[in-house]
A and B are shown apart, each in its own frame.
Chain A
Amino acid sequence: AQSVTQLDSHVSVSEGTPVLLRCNYSSSYSPSLFWYVQHPNKGLQLLLKYTSAATLVKGINGFEAEFKKSETSFHLTKPSAHMSDAAEYFCVVSDAGNQFYFGTGTSLTVIP
C-alpha cells in the first residue's frame, strides 16, 4: 500500500534563508513521487516529479527534491526563500495503477 507523511504541517522561514519541507513515503513498488504547490485560492501546480533517472530532481522556481530510497524520503528544498514561495505544498506518491496518494500538506510562511 502507498502512503505519504509530510512531517511538518507548518514551516516558517525568513526571506532569503533555505527551505526544507519533509516528506516520507511508503510504497510497495518503485514509486513515482511528486511535489505540488497551491497558492491561496488557486489550483495545484506541479513543482517537480521523480522519474528514477536521477535522485536529485530539479523543479520550477528553484526548488529541488532528493529521492533517498534507504530513508524512503523525498524532501523538498530551496536555497533561498522568496516571499512568493508562501503557499501550501503537497507531497504525492502514485502507484502503477495511476492512483495518487496525497500528504496532508505543509503550509510555508515566508517572513520578510
Chain B
Amino acid sequence: NAGVTQTPKFRILKIGQSMTLQCAQDMNHNYMYWYRQDPGMGLKLIYYSVGAGITDKGEVPNGYNVSRSTTEDFPLRLELAAPSQTSVYFCASSYSGQANSPLHFGNGTRLTVT
C-alpha cells in the first residue's frame, strides 16, 4: 500500500514549455485534489475530482488542466509554463464514504520555471 505517489519529485522548466505532473493513489479513494504551496502562503486548491470522469476547478485553476480517467490516477497538466507557476505541488486523496476522512498527501513535486 503505497498511498499517494507523485512523480517527478523535482523539475525545471523553461517558460512556455509544458509538462504533466503525475499522481496515483492505491487506497480506492474517490476524491482527489491538486494543491500548490507557495512560501508563507499555505496551500491553495487548483483542481479536484470527486470520481472518475468528474473534475472541477478550485481556487487557482488558471494555467492548469486535469483529467480523471481512472479512480487511481489524477494527472495535472501545465500547458505553457510561466514563472508564476514556480511552486511545490501536492496531490492528495480522501474517501467520502467515511465521516471525518482526512486528506492523504503525496510527497510533492518541486517545480521551477525559468
Which A residues form the contact surface with B (CB < 8 A)?
9, 32, 34, 36, 41-46, 49-52, 90, 92, 94, 98-100, 102-105
B53 an interface residue at 8 Å Cβ cutoff? no
How many residues of chain B are within 8 Å of chain A by beta carbon?
Answer: 24
Most buried by A among B31, B42, B99, B106: B42
Interchain pairs with CB closer than 8 A, number: 52
Q: Enumerate the 7 nearest inter-chain pairs by beta-carbon distance, A residue then B residue, closest first.
A: A104-B42, A43-B107, A44-B105, A43-B105, A32-B100, A102-B43, A51-B100
Which B residues form the contact surface with A (CB < 8 A)?
31, 33, 40-43, 45, 48, 50, 90, 92, 94, 96, 99-108, 110
For the complex, give the distance between the alpha carbons of A32 and B33 in Å. 18
For the complex, give the distance between the alpha carbons of A100 and B106 in Å. 16
A98 and B105 in contact, given A90-B42, A104-B40, A105-B42 (Cβ under 8 angstroms)? no
B29 to chain A, nearest CB (A): 10
B39 to chain A, nearest CB (A): 10
Most buried by A among B92, B105, B110: B105
Find A49's partner among B50, B92, B100, B110 (CB 8 Å cutoff). Answer: B100
For the complex, give the distance between the alpha carbons of A44 and B6 in Å. 13
A43 and B42 in contact, given A51-B100, A98-B31 (Cβ under 8 angstroms)? no
